[in-house]
Amino acid sequence: MHKLAIFVGSLRQGSYNRKLAKALEKLGAAHFACQYPDLNLPLYNDDLWQDPPASVLQLKADIAAADAVLFVTPEYNRSISPVTKNAVDWGSRPFGQNAWKGKPAGIAGASMGNIGTAVAQSHLRSSIVSLGVILMGQPEMYFTFKPDAIDDNGEVVEEKTRTFLQRYMDSLAKWVEVARQMG
């Protein structure tokens, strides 16, 4: 069983990405024990390292304790959310203390649009790979969210959708094993 830190790039309780994350957590339960690091962090400011906020230290500890990470990102104005970018930046600093380096990861995202969160995922991919994250390339997860696809308990209603999401989580579990052998 792997420890998986799920980073949901939306603070909104009813977010589509939070619902997708909960569904992925349930479908990955055979492979992963999941936690959701708190991303309600102060805006990145290098001056704060002189007396780092407890929430930032906890974020770095959560990343360090995880065997892998899963970013579930919304797309805001054709890019990643500020919440996601802020967490990535805090985790990568201070210089020489990059918590992301060598961490196996996947990216998923949901939106109402037909291309899911493809542009946001592309931006996130370029940022985290440069930090040494060992990112799973395939399968990709661009999820067009339909309000009735996932219920309030995180259960996937449609069989076709459940199969698609299950395949992704099974692939992520295999990727974690491959990345461990690479590291």
Of 25-34, 49-58, 76-85, 113-122, minimum mean pLDDT range? 113-122
Domain limits of the chain?
2-182
Q: Which residue has the tokens 């493809």?
A: 118
The pLDDT value recorded for residue 183 is: 64
How do 2-8 and 32-35 pair as beta strands? parallel
pLDDT at 154 over 90: no
Q: Which of these, 21, 42, 65, 43, lies nearest to 168 by C-alpha position?
A: 21
- For 57-81, the pLDDT digits (tens) are 999 999 999 999 999 999 999 999 9
Query: If pLDDT is split at 50, 70 and 90, which confidence band does 105 have?
Result: very high
The answer to whether residues 120 and 109 touch, using CB atoms and an 8 Å cutoff, is: yes
CA distance 143 to 27: 15
Instruction: Yes or no: say if 142 and 112 are a contact pair by the CB < 8 Å rule.
Output: no
CATH architecture of 2-182: 3-Layer(aba) Sandwich (3.40)
* Mean pLDDT, rounded, for 154-158: 89
Query: Binning pLDDT at 50, 70 and 90, where does residue 176 land?
Result: very high
Q: Is 164 exposed, middle or buried (0-12, 13-18, 19+ CB in 10 A)?
A: middle
Model's pTM, two decimal places? 0.95
